[in-house]
Amino acid sequence: MPHIHATALVEDGVDLADDVSVGPNSVLSGKITIGAGSRIIGSAYLQGPLEIGEGCLIYPFSSIGFAPQSVDFDPRQEGRGVVVGDRVTVRESVSIHRAMTDAGPTIIGDECYLMANAHVGHDTKLGYRCILANGALLGGHVILGNRAFVGGNAAIHQFCRIGRLTMLSGGMAISRDLPPFFTLTGMNVAGSINEVGMRRAGISREDIEDVRWVYKVLYRRKLGVAAAMRAIEERKTRPIVREFIEFMNESKRGLCPAKPDVRRVVEEVEEQADKRIAT
């Protein structure tokens, strides 16, 4: 039988595997299923609809499955809920909100590691083995590719798509799409490729060279977007290049540039100065 601490509250409708452990002061309500070998250390709040896989570890003060942070959303609406994969670690004070659309549920892929105070917004989808460092913030409808790493206190705008094996440096923010294998080094700046991460993941030398070539075509040859895409299409038979093409074709928010948009920043500064002078 599951081990449920005397101070835990587990409502009807919760289905626990035989070896699940629910620690003190935890609250589980609604339709919830938790797989074998999973453990809730204590003082966690879980709200269904919620599915948690096998071998997961949930630390104190985390909350999973509560309503999206939207003033227009009725918190009584269950929606599609949250699905957490196998061997996921959810550290202290992490929040994961349930989906608010039929396109849900919010998904946390297998072997993800969410560090303390990270937030996953509604309808977001994390792939396999993603890592969110302390304080990472993901807005609603974000898509995070397999083995992506989001640095501490980094923020991802809603509806952004982040490719696999990407890396977002700590303290950065992004409101555009970041292609696979690239590294975010500034606000919306794809300053380099994640070569170390690719090597650790066992990506071949030939594929790494293809990633390096795509980066040069996009950001170093001073081509327009259309011309760069035509050049990249010439190598579409190569799997890694084809992955880039598919990602770029599906982009709705536009890709991160390789350097800050200085002209836009200058225009905004000048506009603010004009307003101050006018007043």
pLDDT reported for residue 274: 53
pLDDT reported for residue 271: 54
CA dihedral 14, 19, 25, 26 (to 10 degrees): -40
**HSE-CB of 36 using CA atoms within 13 angstroms:** 1
Angle between helices 205-219 and 239-250 (to 10 degrees): 40
Domains with residue ranges and CATH for the chain: 1-159 (2.160.10.10)
Q: Decide the pairing of beta strands 119-120 and 161-162.
A: unpaired
pLDDT reported for residue 269: 37
pLDDT reported for residue 278: 58
CA dihedral 164, 165, 166, 168 (to 10 degrees): 120
Contact 248, 179 (CB under 8 A): yes
Q: Which two tokens stand for residue 240?
A: 């890694």
Q: How many CB atoms lie within 10 A of CB 196?
A: 10
Q: Check: pTM over 0.75? Answer yes or no.
A: yes
pLDDT reported for residue 65: 97
pLDDT reported for residue 264: 45
| Residue numbers annotated as active site | 122-123, 140
pLDDT reported for residue 223: 81
Task: Return the DSSP state at 176.
Answer: S
**HSE-CB of 47 using CA atoms within 13 angstroms:** 20
Which of 172, 151, 148, 141 lies closest to 162, judged by CA? 148
Cis peptide bond prior to 239, omega within 30° of 0:
no
Please classify residue 231 by burial: count the beta carbons closer than 10 Å to its beta carbon, then call 0-12 exposed, 13-18 middle and 19+ buried.
Answer: middle
> Would you write out the chain's pLDDT as a tens digit for each of its 279 residues?
899 999 999 999 899 999 999 999 999 999 999 999 999 999 999 999 999 999 999 999 999 999 999 888 888 888 899 999 999 999 999 999 999 988 889 999 999 999 999 999 999 999 999 999 999 999 999 999 999 999 999 999 999 999 999 999 999 999 999 999 999 999 999 999 999 999 999 999 999 999 999 999 999 888 888 888 899 999 999 999 999 999 999 999 999 988 765 444 334 434 544 554 555
Which amino acid makes up residue 107? I
